[in-house]
A and B are shown apart, each in its own frame.
Chain A
Amino acid sequence: MMSNEKKKRAINRLKTMYPLRNLIDEMYQRGVEASKIGKPTAWSMVNWWEADPILKAMDIEIVYPENYGAVCAAFGAAPAYLDRSDSDGFPTHMCGYARNCIGYAARMKDLGEIPPEAPMGGMAKPILLLASGSLCDARYKWFQALGRYLDAPVWTVEIPHPGVEESFREGAYESAINFMVKELGEFVTFLERLLAKKMDWDKLAEITDDIIKINRLWYEINELRKARPCPMHSRDFWSCMNASLYPAGDPKESLKLYQDMYQEVKDRVENKIGAVAEEKYRLAFAELPPWHDLKIFDELAERGWNFVIESWAYHPPKPIDTSQVSNPLERIAKETYQWFTGSFKGALKAKEYMGYFAYPYLEYARDYQCDGALLHPLLTCRTATNHLMLVQDRLLNKLKIPSLVAEGDIVDLKLFDHADTMRKAETLEEMMDHYRGVRREEGLEW
């Protein structure tokens, strides 16, 4: 870190990013402290704003074992938890975050308290495990499996995963929203029983509104990145996404910080300031980055690589107007469903049937005028990996955009091969140069 500090960095980071990033770091400590004074804690997972606003409105402190998996990996605490999960008989091919969490829970059960070695104060004992079936079925199976170690009940929030064409069939949209709203209603009733208190619907409406505002702003910030040169690098996206995605901290505070960020990015666009000094190549990244080796992006930036768009699953929904919807649960349902299906129209037109996860990259590549993509399959995360070969094939064959596959994992940090990736990067540069010509010949815009 120190030597990087001295050297002029190749990536021009946004100043407004730092306070947003700090929000997440404060989250764990706050969670532990809150539970010490008797505030109920829930373990939750990325649920794309479907459950978290409800938990927040019920005044439940939320911690995120997925995010905590990344924390444990970064602090070197993960191997011991993974070993524990393995020795308890969970197959080793399963999700690294899940196994880390299972090992952590097992150890917490043994000790009867937060393990002393747990990084960042650890995760407090939960009164509820809030699972989501969204994008990854391994996640609710994981929380269900935690029953071995925790006596907290599990609730799984539902989100429909329709096929592209099926989603446009008559009545499909209404049915999907109706389903979500009903389930969320049941969820609220359940929470009211669990906590023996009533939902404050006004509070929920307000939080929901704040989160939608955050997401709108965050969306607009990312829209600004279509400019040449791109004013904001993927690293800034990853540093700031959690305040939207989880959403960590006080939404009003996050909103203000995103407003500051919007200004900074807009200023850069107006003054043609790029996130890398000389933008030679514009790239997309899928899915989660190699957290422990983010410096690779600095090295690539030195070669003129600017990462202009990334990680479809962590982006906010395309804007829709739900301001006239009075029931906050319906607003939540519509926004989350929009996040999932927002690219389906284009996908159907393009006859691309993996309308989420895969097709959005085609959209991105066109809208952000990408020259290439860096795809990062994760050994134990099928969700982030399943679609990447399809993405690679479609990018090349439909849009003449070459990509590079560099394998890694979410917690087994040794898997990502920095040197090998840098070597391959040179080849990708040659391909990116070549395919510029091909795209021009084929009449593509960039």
Chain B
Amino acid sequence: MTEKERKGLDRVREIYQDRAHRAKELKAEGKQVMGYLCLYPVLEMLTAVDLAPYRILGDMEEPITKADACLPTVVCPFIRSALDLGLKGKYDFLDGVVMAHICDVGEKTSHIWRTYLNPSYFYFIDTPHTVHKAAQQQLKEQLKDFKKTLESFTGRELSLDKLKQAIKTYNRQRALVRELYDLRKPDPPLISGAETLQVMVALMSIPVDEGIDLLRQVISEVKEGKNGPPKKPARLLVWGSIIDNTALIRMIEELEANVVIDDTCVGSRAYFPNVELTDDPLDGLVYRYLVGLKCPRTFRESVFGETKKDYIKDLESRFGYIKDYAKEWNVNGVILQSVRYCDIHGYEVPGLRDYLDHIGLPNIYLEHDYSEAALAPLRTRAQAFLEVIG
């Protein structure tokens, strides 16, 4: 197992280049690998029955061909790409798939995936739209059922102890991701945004305990600070829809900017929220996966049942955490980005820009269509934005 000899960022790059390699290896060793789409499937439960979770991503460099026959072109190109890879057999090594009501296109794609690919295990979690108590209860009931299906699929018991253990393990990994992100607080940051993204992709491709080891190696390597990025005038936060390829961040970082923090789902959104260890561990999981995860797919009001609407207060409650990030990472500009046809991010853009204007953070919105070729025109916009704030 020569690849295991590589460590830290070298290992990260290796995984990033060939994501599925480790999963296929595990499968050859007899481990079952479970694919999942987006952030809403509960990973702790998979790990607790000894399944290896593997995040289904797209591939910006692979032209979409097969998905054209089952998803129209006017929907999220990331989801189209992920489905395309599935239809091309690139996810055939998965023993099963867990999907969720992430957004409508993701939801429809879940059903299309099952209809055409018929995986031996499939579960669809209908994540509610709101975060109210009743919604939490509804999610909890589903997780109880999800647990039963996992047990019958694996023939193993998903015990409370194992679940608590898994929660602790994931929280440990999340703490390490925070630690890595902390290394982006100095100026210059000790690790670039593009490299951080590679680490995140790697973590989503290997079992959680291996991810913990990898993170430890990466953190100590980065702390040595040998190959960190140069100091640049702009310290940016990147917000928006999924970024699972380094091209966009690399393009930004080739300019006079370091990306020091993100609010995207192969990044802080996936790792910052912890799970509280509650008496019934499902309660903590429900809270984290429904209330804690901050994707615009969820409807939130600033005060439950508010009868008066205060716009700024509403923005504060929805986006206040971004202000905290900006302060902690000493950010002086925000790039909002979204893939075309992403409704849930699209509706958020003017409101978030209002909020950033309100707190005095320069910002720009970039829309792209999930292909490397289409990034070129964005370069001028990004560069001009840096000139404006510089």
Residue numbers of A with Cβ under 8 A of B are 88-91, 93-95, 98, 131, 133, 135-138, 140-142, 144-145, 147-148, 150-154, 156, 158, 160-166, 169-172, 175-176, 178-179, 182-183, 186, 189-190, 193-194, 351-355, 357-358, 377, 379-380, 382-383, 385-390, 393
Contact = CB atoms under 8 A, between A and B. Distances in A.
A214 to B, nearest CB: 27
Nearest to A380: B74
B308 interface: yes
A357 B149 CA distance: 26
Interface in B102-119: 103-105, 107-108, 110-112, 114-115, 118
Given A94-B343, A171-B145, A183-B132, A193 B115 contact: no
Interface string B63-77: 000000111101100
Nearest to B353: A89
Given A137-B104, A382-B104, A390-B70, A166 B307 contact: no
A94 B346 contact: yes
Interface in B255-312: 296-297, 299, 301, 305-311
A419 B198 CA distance: 51
B347 A90 contact: yes
Given A386-B105, A390-B115, A190 B126 contact: no
B182 interface: no
Contacts of A133: 129-130, 299
Given A153-B308, A385-B75, A176 B129 contact: no
A161 B126 contact: yes
Interface string B84-108: 0000000000000000010111011
A379 B104 contact: no
16 contacts: A93-B341, A133-B130, A151-B311, A152-B309, A158-B128, A163-B126, A170-B145, A171-B145, A172-B145, A175-B142, A178-B138, A182-B134, A194-B307, A353-B112, A377-B74, A379-B74
Contacts of B377: none
B305 A189 contact: yes
Nearest to A159: B129
Contact of B126 (A93, A166, A189, A379): A166
Contacts of B126: 160-163, 166
A89 B72 contact: no
B251 interface: no
Contacts of A89: 349-350, 353, 365
Nearest to A136: B104
B306 to A, nearest CB: 5
B319 interface: no
Nearest to A150: B309
Given A145-B351, A153-B307, A158-B129, A166 B344 contact: no
B105 to A, nearest CB: 6
Contacts of A145: 347-348, 350-351
Contacts of A98: 347
Contacts of A169: 145, 148-149
Contact of A94 (B101, B118, B124, B347): B347
Contact of A137 (B132, B338, B343): B343
B341 A90 contact: no
A343 to B, nearest CB: 13
A207 to B, nearest CB: 23
Contact of A141 (B108, B112, B296, B307): B296
A178 B137 CA distance: 10
B145 A91 contact: no
Given A377-B72, A389-B70, A153 B108 contact: no
A172 B126 CA distance: 11
A386 B347 contact: no
A144 B347 contact: yes
A156 B130 contact: yes
A351 B115 contact: yes
A193 B314 CA distance: 19
A131 B309 contact: no
B82 to A, nearest CB: 15
Interface string B132-150: 1111011001101100110
Contacts of B107: 161
Interface in B312-347: 314-315, 338, 340-341, 343-344, 346-347
Interface residues of B, number: 65
A179 B145 contact: no
Interface of B: 69-72, 74-75, 101, 103-105, 107-108, 110-112, 114-115, 118, 122-124, 126, 128-130, 132-135, 137-138, 141-142, 144-145, 148-149, 296-297, 299, 301, 305-311, 314-315, 338, 340-341, 343-344, 346-351, 353-354, 365, 367
Contacts of A91: 338, 340, 346, 349, 367
A162 B124 contact: yes
Nearest to A91: B346
B340 A144 contact: no
Nearest to A128: B307
Contact of A147 (B104, B138, B307, B309): B309
A151 B112 contact: no
A240 B306 CA distance: 36
A43 B341 CA distance: 25
A129 to B, nearest CB: 9
B114 A353 contact: yes
Which of A91, A136, A379 has the largest number of chain B CB atoms within 10 A?
A: A91
A183 B134 contact: yes
B301 A153 contact: yes
Contacts of B296: 141
A389 B71 contact: yes
B295 to A, nearest CB: 11
B216 to A, nearest CB: 38
Contacts of B307: 153, 190, 193-194
A90 B346 contact: yes
Given A153-B307, A163-B110, A189-B305, A393 B343 contact: no
Contacts of A162: 124, 126
Nearest to A195: B307
Nearest to A180: B134
A93 B129 contact: no
A387 B296 CA distance: 23
A93 B122 CA distance: 32
A148 B70 CA distance: 37
Contact of B311 (A137, A148, A166): A148
A389 B66 CA distance: 12
Contacts of B149: 169
Nearest to B365: A89
Which of B104, B308, B340 has the largest number of chain A CB atoms within 10 A?
A: B104
B305 A190 contact: yes
Contacts of B305: 186, 189-190, 193
Contacts of A385: 72, 74-75
A175 B138 contact: yes
B135 A389 contact: no
The 10 A-B residue pairs with the shortest CB-CB distance, nearest first, are A163-B124, A141-B347, A133-B129, A182-B134, A138-B343, A179-B138, A175-B141, A354-B111, A91-B346, A353-B111
Given A88-B350, A148-B351, A389-B70, A382 B132 contact: no
A147 B317 CA distance: 13
A355 B149 CA distance: 20
A199 B140 CA distance: 30
